[in-house]
Chain A
């Protein structure tokens, strides 16, 4: 029996002389390879489901929603925007129809023109019609559920970031030539935590430096990202209070307070927060002093005791001054102590400066530079096996 020869798609005369055949002859794609009996091109069920999801519910997530966040949690199982009301839906439908109409018109009119021309025209027409439709496409504000990028985790949500104007306002308030705001004051005024105020100042300062140097800022990137994120807006009206960005009086859960205690206390005794702190740990301060803004509590206490505004201001000022004074005194005392620890022996040309070094200060691994051995040839270990050389800190 002769061997079964499969029919070829290309005529044998061309196929035989492969050297003259140009590479670009379009060949119809075959269903499977000649030697394979199984249909390997078959799309699996999982793959089909994946593309079904991507073209169905996942379609809305491909492009950002104009003027809003666009998270997975804002959609239901079928890809419908949960918070969208009827007005928005009709506006959107209209827009889509209009776009389709435009496309058709463009394809009809621009047949003689070439391809680039057509795309340009389409872009242009879309831009012209955009501003008219902006009013119709207004979404209601996001709820807590709409801000969940991970619908499975209801304990995480995308929290607002500082808007560009607010950052600028914070920076301007802190560098104001007439009455610059101090860091804690800016924190209380804008409702932004101390660390964030410092960071905003640093980053803004760097930005100004960049502009002065003539470096190119990533403005299109900033615009795109800020459009996708929830933002805390800046209230430019001086008479209105700024919208607080985050809780500024966060109390860190101290490890000593993680355990439960059973402390019997006499009923007649007034057991306050100070006592509770002592019960957990002897050095644990009460919450009033551990929060980032203890001065707010003191001002509030003054208010409750019925003081006038002028009196309160005077007392707050006094407290601030004493605080600064104490701090400087402490620093000076530390300097003095450092000086006193050195013994000077004057000589004709140079003085001998003798410093006490304790054996205990070598630390846990015996290698600390404050200890005894370091300046007498303690060998480095950086060539040993298994030494981690990643730095642990970088000086600012």
Chain B
């Protein structure tokens, strides 16, 4: 069997359905098809091979040929005011008597039917997952299906080729979505250090196990009380990360200032970690705890105030509506903070770089077509209807020129 070419080749630029820099480059280098020096067959062939490399390259050609439909769906937006005013007879009125319409009504923009050739593929579950920005490529979306991470109408669906029906709700496991759309993990110097420390700790443990403890109990307890500088440093660093996590959340400006001051102090101690004493570390710890408690207490107080306000409405300056709004806003903020910190905390076990950020080049590919309605919070989407063409706009996302689309459509039209 002939060896398959590279998926992303610079020799033959083909856009693929993924968020890679190669795809972006090939999309930027696309131009209208060469019709001057090629025969019609050659033009159609190139157009077909180029478009098929993008649309459903994971589907075999025979399967796609069965999916192909020559009837392409379209809609026309109607103006209800115009429909109410005229019954349609005005279009022909007086024409026989010689009335001529000269530019009376604007001609609507052309409906790009030919860009809709691959609309049946957009109905597939894997394509829909990719289009709703839950996976970074169609291949990944397909893998999610096969691995059982996708549900359709609440039931597990393992077939990436499942054809969605209008009204189907599909959802993907949020942790997988975070992994697919997040920046990939890199081995940083910190991670290496952590790994090294862990390895030394394990080695120590092993040594202790192999050599039965000869030191008396009392000495060990004192050793516990007086931690080594290295231990102190790791403790300080974890403390630092905790502070960072709190700062990543949304807290008020004054609290932020306090936290920053605390962080400054910790940083200094880390800088001088060799001389740091356990006392200084414990004071820092207590400071952090105090600040955190203060924030929580304030939050509770706010909630209590809001509930008390209902009773003493006549005396209060703020109206009840405003209070209700305030409370809602506060609760929303609290919820968001909780969830954000759950994802964003430094976690070496997470399959993406923490704190989470979108992967490179994602913004250039981020669009959600109108035939999907997506709720990103729960990583679920509804397939509303099949994609349609409307005047001046085709809903199938395709990077190719209109002429390429025409040629590809004509390729599949033959023998039919």
Contact = CB atoms under 8 A, between A and B. Distances in A.
Interface in A121-163: 121, 124, 127-128, 149-159, 161-162
Contact of B161 (A226, A250, A390): A390
B284 interface: no
Nearest to A115: B189
B112 interface: yes
Contact of B382 (A199, A223, A229, A276): A199
Contacts of A219: 336, 339-340, 343, 377
A237 to B, nearest CB: 14
A217 B378 contact: yes
Contact of B370 (A121, A159, A217, A300): A159
Contacts of A225: 133, 181, 358, 366, 376
B80 A297 contact: yes
Nearest to A195: B384
Nearest to A228: B366
Given A113-B271, A149-B365, A297 B84 contact: yes
Interface residues of B, number: 111
Nearest to B374: A161
Contact of B270 (A44, A70, A117, A153): A117
A120 interface: yes
Nearest to A75: B28
Nearest to B28: A72
Nearest to A286: B88
B87 interface: yes
A272 B92 CA distance: 9
B115 A156 contact: yes
A167 B378 CA distance: 14
Contact of B153 (A44, A249, A296, A395): A395
B377 A120 contact: no
Contacts of B393: 155-157
A271 B92 contact: yes
Given A153-B400, A158-B367, A63 B360 contact: yes
Query: Of residues A46, A210, A222, A226, which shows the largest number of chain B Cβ atoms within 10 Å of its Cβ?
Result: A222
Nearest to A301: B84
Interface stretch (B69-77, B304-312, B407-415): B69-77
A180 interface: no
User: Do most interface residues of chain B lie in helix, strand or loop, or is the interface mixed?
Assistant: mixed
B364 A149 contact: yes
Contacts of A392: 163, 165
A253 interface: yes
Interface string B352-369: 000111101111111111
A319 to B, nearest CB: 14
Contacts, number: 294
A330 B402 CA distance: 48
Contact of B380 (A50, A61, A116, A203): A203
A393 interface: yes
A199 B164 CA distance: 15
Contacts of B92: 265, 271
Contacts of B390: 250
A174 B84 CA distance: 29
Interface string B1-36: 000000000110000000001101101101110000
B362 A251 contact: no
A120 B177 contact: no
A152 B97 contact: no
A64 interface: yes
B81 interface: yes
Contacts of A249: 77-80
A271 B366 contact: no
A152 B399 contact: yes
Given A195-B384, A272-B88, A220 B344 contact: yes
Given A153-B400, A220-B344, A61 B361 contact: yes
A300 B87 contact: no
Given A113-B270, A225-B133, A207 B378 contact: yes
B138 interface: no
B404 to A, nearest CB: 8
A196 B390 CA distance: 18
B373 A253 contact: no
A150 B399 contact: yes
Interface in A31-51: 44, 46-47, 50
Contacts of A224: 181, 357-358, 362
Interface stretch (A52-60, A354-362, A368-376): A52-60
Given A149-B364, A394-B155, A61 B79 contact: no
A304 interface: yes
B245 to A, nearest CB: 12
B162 A61 contact: no
Contacts of A158: 366-368
Contacts of B385: 195
Which A-B residue pairs are the 5 nearest by beta carbons? A158-B367, A273-B88, A300-B84, A199-B382, A64-B363
Given A149-B364, A228-B363, A249-B78, 19 more contacts: A50-B10, A64-B362, A72-B364, A121-B267, A152-B31, A200-B375, A217-B377, A218-B174, A218-B376, A219-B339, A220-B344, A223-B340, A251-B77, A253-B74, A297-B80, A300-B80, A390-B161, A390-B163, A394-B162
28 contacts: A50-B22, A50-B25, A58-B25, A71-B363, A113-B270, A117-B271, A124-B263, A152-B27, A153-B400, A155-B392, A155-B402, A203-B373, A206-B169, A217-B377, A219-B340, A219-B343, A220-B355, A221-B182, A225-B181, A229-B367, A250-B76, A250-B77, A250-B388, A251-B77, A253-B75, A265-B92, A271-B88, A291-B80
